[in-house]
Structure 1
Amino acid sequence: MDPILSVHVKLLAVDLLSLTVQSYGPLTFTHKNWPIARAESLGVVVSRERKDKFLKFLVDDGTGCIPCILWLNHHSFAQRSHPIDLELKARMALDYAEKIQLGLLVRVRGRITSFMGVIQVTVADVVFERDPNMELLHWLDCIRMSRRYP
């Protein structure tokens, strides 16, 4: 297993949305022939839609909008597996769902998934950035990584 599959790779929206889907085996994505399973991105929340089981929102980083989904139905799985872990995840997800508002600068990390042919990030955690310079620093990190791993 490639070690890069277990880390959150910093990607700009233009790179994330242009990932190549591998048709063989389990659903995997590649960027410049590197397999990627998890991503980290930073941008402004420009859309949000909350339903009973999930919060769907868009993060705009200046190169495009990243569709993100935050699942809120961890309570329904609590009886089947580790209830303490799922209870904690459910509380965190509900807390994130309340705090994610339009216009906020957020850093999202999660698994890259596809729904109806559209690449999205299934959010694992959200960090609310207060320093607007973080967006520029994220861009620089993405450029540096792109040059290092051509």
Structure 2
Amino acid sequence: MHSDFGNDEELPSLLWGLDPIFSAYTKLYIKDILEIKESKHIPGIFFYNSHPISKVDVFGTVVLTREKDHFYTYGVDDGTGVISCTCWKNIRPNEGLPTGISAHQTVSGGLNIAEQLRKLQEHEQKNSKLDIGDVIQVRGQIKVFRGQREVVAQSYSKVDDPVFAVQIARMLEVPSLYRNFYDKQFQTHQVLENDSHLSRGQEVSNVSVQAERLSEKISDFLQESNIENFYQRELEIVDSLTAFASKPLPSSSSAVQEYLEPGTTGRQIRSLFREALLLLQQKGVVFQKATRPDEVYLVTDKDKVLHKVILNTIQEDCKREKYAEKGCHFLHIFTCARQAYSPYLTSTIVKRVLDKLESGSDIVSTMEGYYTAF
């Protein structure tokens, strides 16, 4: 199969959200996850037959297990290949019962709340630790770590399937998804003007250039205005930003100019702002603590709470004998930050905070990837 943009070109990122596969957990075979081409411009985005993919749904048999302090690593085999899945432990910051619930508290009918919570925690713990031969379903993002692709789980569970009913259903479902969706190219001409006939070309790439330039304007605006957090809709009413987003590039063709006009609903403008913010997220300039599009954006350099969480982690752990000599490794800091602050933090964000703390002389890097506090 051939992409609309040729073998060496990829779909412009402004159009990714228009492909429904991009928003779904794609049920690809593991062989394809290991072989699909990665985006040249944005890490963590991959392309299967022109479809942009970042999230996958992996289903298979556990053939390898490894346990660390904060996560499990499972090797999952679906018959086409084996991929490593990083599955975070569900560690609660405060063990025991939630505040306000006593060990003997009951509700009408004699139901003991504490007992039910204990059983629920036992059930979660049982389903989080798997053995070789267990069947697992993992939903998460494709990442590249030390040159190897892996899936970092956003959710995972053991699949109880004594009569193979779930596995058979999966075996029937996936070929149908390939046939009806994955193996059909994303037709960009259905998204752009039907009579524009844009080809592989320069015109569509101008749309991505516009988003890149808008992201730079937003970054400058956030810094100049000393903004700590914001919603996308708040940026869309800033006259200077909206005027820039509405103005086509001088080199754009008339078809792209028409595509960039806000129209009566402003859908294209909102899409352009969304794409610009995605670029800023990829660079670690801003981030969200949840994945909903309407969630508040936080400015990484201005988030004092995140800076304090990371600094405290380094200060406290460097007092321990294990970290006293070399300091804390980046992966340890990253893991602790995700556990203490938000599971949606990326390594780019944490690295940016570390650079900020180091430039302020709060911490120092002792060797490659290790940090200690003064």
Same fold (TM over 0.5): yes
**Alignment match, 2:87:** 70
User: For the aligned residues, what is the CA RMSD?
Assistant: 2.6
The total of aligned residue pairs comes to 136
For normalisation by structure 2, the TM-score amounts to 0.33
Q: Go from structure 1 to structure 2 and tell me whether the alpha carbon gap of 1:96 and 1:55 turns closer, same or farther (over 3 Å shift).
A: farther
Which residue, 60, 65, 80 being the options, matches 1:48? 65
Residue 111 (structure 1) aligned with residue 141 (structure 2): yes
**Structure 1 gaps, min length 5:** 77-90
Q: Go from structure 1 to structure 2 and tell me whether the alpha carbon gap of 1:98 and 1:34 turns closer, same or farther (over 3 Å shift).
A: closer
Moved more, 95-104 or 2-11: 95-104
* 1:17 aligned partner, one-letter code: L
- Is the CA contact (8 Å cut-off) linking 2:128 and 2:157 kept in structure 1? no
Q: Go from structure 1 to structure 2 and tell me whether the alpha carbon gap of 1:52 and 1:97 turns closer, same or farther (over 3 Å shift).
A: farther
**Structure 2 gaps, min length 5:** 1-16, 94-120, 184-374
Q: Go from structure 1 to structure 2 and tell me whether the alpha carbon gap of 1:98 and 1:29 turns closer, same or farther (over 3 Å shift).
A: same
* 1:43 aligned partner, one-letter code: G
For normalisation by structure 1, the TM-score amounts to 0.77
TM-superposed deviation, 1:73: 8.4
Higher relative contact order (Cα pairs below 8 Å, separated by 6+ residues): 1
**Alignment match, 1:133:** 165
Which residue, 21, 25, 34 being the options, matches 2:42? 25
CA–CA distance in structure 2, aligned partners of residues 14 and 130 of structure 1: 24
Q: Which has the larger radius of gyration?
A: 2
Describe the superposition over 1:44-73 as per-residue Cα deviations: whole angstroms up to 9, x where unpaired. 111011111321111111111121001348
Moved more, 52-61 or 95-104: 95-104
Q: Go from structure 1 to structure 2 and tell me whether the alpha carbon gap of 1:97 and 1:52 turns closer, same or farther (over 3 Å shift).
A: farther
Describe the superposition over 1:72-109 as per-residue Cα deviations: whole angstroms up to 9, x where unpaired. 48668xxxxxxxxxxxxxx8xx8377532211111111
Residue 10 (structure 1) aligned with residue 27 (structure 2): yes
* Higher strand residue share: 1
**Alignment match, 2:132:** 102
Describe the superposition over 1:13-34 as per-residue Cα deviations: whole angstroms up to 9, x where unpaired. 1111112111113431111111
